[in-house]
Amino acid sequence: MPTDSTKQDITTDNKKVQDLQQNTEDSTGQFLTTNQGLRINDDQNSLKAGERGPSLLEDFILREKITHFDHERIPERVVHARGAGAHGVFKLNEDLSEFTKAGFLTDTLRETPVFVRFSTVAGSRGSSDLARDVRGFAVKFYTDEGNFDLVGNNIPVFFIQDSIKFPDLIHAVKPEPHNEIPQAASAHDTFWDYISNTPESAHMIMWLMSDRAIPRSLRMMEGFGVHSFRFVNEEGKSCFVKFHWKPKLGVHSVAWTEAQTISGKDPDFHRRDLWEAIENGNFPEWDFGVQIVPEEDEHKYEFDLLDSTKLIPEELVPVRRIGTMTLNRNTDNYFAETEQVAFHLGHVVPGIDFTNDPLLQGRLFSYTDTQLLRLGGPNFHEIPINRPIAPIHNNQRDGHMRQQINKSKTAHSPNGMSGGCPFQAGKMQGGFTSYPERIEASKIRGRSKSFFDHFSQAKLFLNSQSDPEKNHLTDALSFELGKVETLSVRERMLYFLAQIDEGLAGAVAYNVGMHVPKEVKTLLNQTKPADASDEEYASVVKEGSLDKSVALSMKNSPTDIIETRKIAILATDGVNAANIQAVKNALMAAGATCEVIAPKLGFIAGVDDTPVAVAKSLLTTASVFYDAVYVPGGTNSVATLEADPDAIHFLNEAFKHCKAIAFDADAMQVIKATYFGRKLPEDNSDETVLMEGIIMSDDASALATKFISAIAQHRFWEREKARKVPA
């Protein structure tokens, strides 16, 4: 039997669903009407003076339809314009009342509705999902104490330390103003000119140039709150907290060349992947984690907790996983929900408060200001997707698109005419109380010396990467700087990189045909106070206490599951249908999805005339959309595929991108026709792993077992040198 608390949870969850449903309408089977409810007989022909005469101004149906169309676009977000959203729930597993009084973090029986919006940062709404970019990871918790918005990214640090620099950063990364080029790409002069003059960006650049910036799926990337926040408990005791989202499927990426191909073939790759996963019941899940630092330990570390260009290594403060978020429902209407959702760092609940992080402080102003312009006025909180489940009572009135109808004759406080209502909650009634932090200081435009160290954590990140990840990072920097036309910018960036690692700088310099300069003529550190001496600055620039951090490498992501991985089965007429079914059953039992790819759509015939449904043709798909490939046997199928250039290209491309490839023993001639297959030994046993991630067997069950284990590794980066094959 459900407890009273459980009943309350169900009511809370259903309340948000019902709130959205009452504003959701299905027009199926309904008569066409105007916006005023008038039934329309004909909206395909405007009202005219005669069949060939002029249209008449009195045609109110035409005017309403055209006017609405002319005004149906709103300003797109300045950043995070391209997004994908979904509904879900958050379930707490561990009571945190020791640290916070926030109800949704103290009641383990409660289930909190959430809406999540993922996004890219730099590109416009029409750009590609696969740009090398930061990903937004914003979560709106609809708690019964009000909405809490956790506005974060898939990278735990940021480019800058102070929000006053944010307009400059975005102006630099956006398309260059004289020609609006490039779109959704940072490979241009203005961005790298800015970065090369902003050493506080060193740590962020390492993340941005790593594979973290090209995730395999939105379901397979981490999320971070970036800033240090405060928890405050019932006794008024405070501690610092960093927020984390850890995906259940692990953290995985695509190869850079693969991302470029996907952008051309399906720029909606991430949005489609998220939508289809939820529609198919493969609900994405993340563990919600916190790093908690007691207030008395604020100055314990070699970095400043208020510096958003720094993270807290998990070796120093482990992430405490306290709950799970599950996305289980797609949007009903993209514009009404994903596009109109308004996040704001200032949307907090009792028990969560702010720190003096100078980047956080400026963002608290920016979000409200942006929504006022984008959503047309101060009542954006009344749009259904933004409306809290907690009731709203205040003296704020009127404004554009006001929906709430207030009955009271008073709209001022204090008042005696309405009995003083609405009352102030006060501390004892659960109202929000700002943490009474004691501050004694002079007004100053400057930064603490503890913000001066820009390179130690950039070094930590680089040192923590596996060799393949370091190679990718070098390649990414070489690609980006190779696009920079201004020589002085390239020189400054090479000097910049040398402060992180001389080997990295040297490798990039070689790739762009330059030498690493010993010094640069322009002032590198624009953040150092003018009255700070070089010696004073040098005294706080130090080596970090950690050489490596395991959590910073994606290589350490879980490799024991293949849930929702997408497997391509290459086949055509004459295929061994029994082997297809056996391998497919094993893969699906492990949680993967399988699609048969053939030269044509429809059905293909097995050796015993068993019909096999084809999901995609070689003309309409590519290996970049799949995580692994299986080639079943069958004399006729094998012979046809061996002679099909598209099939051979499909396999070469999969090998190039280091994916697992499996084939029946009697399909060896198809593999031998590929670039990599020519290097396989001739005298193979019946059951062999021929090279990393290439599997062959004449037993379908044994092959499936090895194939599943290989897919779980995600990629075989050991083939890195060989992946530059013709494909």
Domain assignment present for residue 321? The answer is: yes
Q: What is the pLDDT of residue 392?
A: 87
Rounded-to-5 percentages of helix, strand, coil across the chain: 35, 15, 50
* CA atoms within a 13 Å half-sphere pointing along the CA-CB vector of 695: 24
The CA distances from residue 147 to 7, 144, 606, in Å, are 20, 8, 56
DSSP 75: P
Residues 677 and 563 grouped into a single domain: yes
Q: Which letter does DSSP use for residue 33 in this model?
A: B
- Judge if 287 and 172 occupy the same domain: yes
Would 131 be classed as within a structural domain?
A: yes
Residues 6+ apart with CB under 8 A from 488: 522
Give the residue from 357, 382, 407 where a domain finishes. Answer: 382
Do 99 and 160 lie in one domain? The reply is yes
Instruction: Name the DSSP letter for residue 337.
Output: I
Whether 19 is in a domain gets the answer no
44: tokens are 């395909």
Distance between CA atoms of residues 673 and 679, nearest Å: 10
Report the CATH number that the domain containing residue 636 is assigned in CATH.
3.40.50.880
Mapped onto helix, strand or coil, the DSSP state of residue 196 is: helix
**pLDDT of res. 24:** 84
Q: How many domains in the chain? A: 3
Q: How many DSSP H helices and E strands does the chain contain?
A: 19, 19
Residue 486: which CATH number? 1.20.1370.20
> Which residues constitute the domain of residue 601?
559-723
Average pLDDT of each block of 10 consecutive residues along the chain (727 residues)? 43 75 83 89 90 90 88 91 98 97 96 97 95 97 96 97 93 94 92 94 97 97 97 96 97 95 96 97 98 96 96 97 98 96 94 95 86 90 93 87 87 84 74 85 83 93 95 96 96 95 98 93 59 60 80 85 96 97 97 97 95 96 97 97 97 94 95 85 56 89 95 89 62
pLDDT of residue 263: 95
Q: Which residue, of 341, 357, 382, is where some domain finishes? A: 382
* 354 falls within a domain: yes
Determine the Cα–Cα distance for residues 464 and 523; give it in Å rounded to an integer. Answer: 30
Report the distance separating Cα 166 and Cα 183, nearest Å. Answer: 19
Are 609 and 508 members of one domain?
no
Same structural domain, 304 and 179: yes
Q: Is residue 143 part of a domain?
A: yes
Whether 338 maps to a domain, the answer reads: yes
* Residue 117 sits in the same domain as residue 162: yes
CATH number of domain containing 121:
2.40.180.10
Burial of 59 (0-12, 13-18, 19+ CB in 10 A): middle
pTM: 0.92
Predicted local confidence at residue 570, as pLDDT: 98
Check: CB of residue 262 under 8 Å from CB of residue 131. Answer: no
Distance of CA 581 to the CA centre of its chain: 35
486 and 549, same domain (yes or no): yes
Q: Domain for residue 2, yes or no?
A: no
Determine contact, residues 350/101, Cβ cutoff 8 Å.
yes
Shared-domain flag, residues 542 and 620:
no
Give the residue from 506, 539, 555 where a domain finishes: 555
Pair 683, 574 in one domain: yes
List the beta bridge partners of residue 641.
none
pLDDT at 354: 95
Angle separating helix axes 502-511 and 487-500, nearest 10 degrees: 150
- Residue written as tokens 């999320």? 223
Q: Are residues 279 and 146 in the same domain?
A: yes
- What is the spatial distance between Cα 452 and Cα 456, in angstroms, rounded to a whole number? 11
Residue 516 and residue 644 share a domain: no
> Are residues 230 and 268 both part of a single domain?
yes
Residues with active-site annotation: 80, 153
- Tokens representing residue 273 in the block: 């992947």
Token pair listed for 448? 């603490």
For residue 175, being part of any structural domain is answered with yes
pLDDT of 366: 84
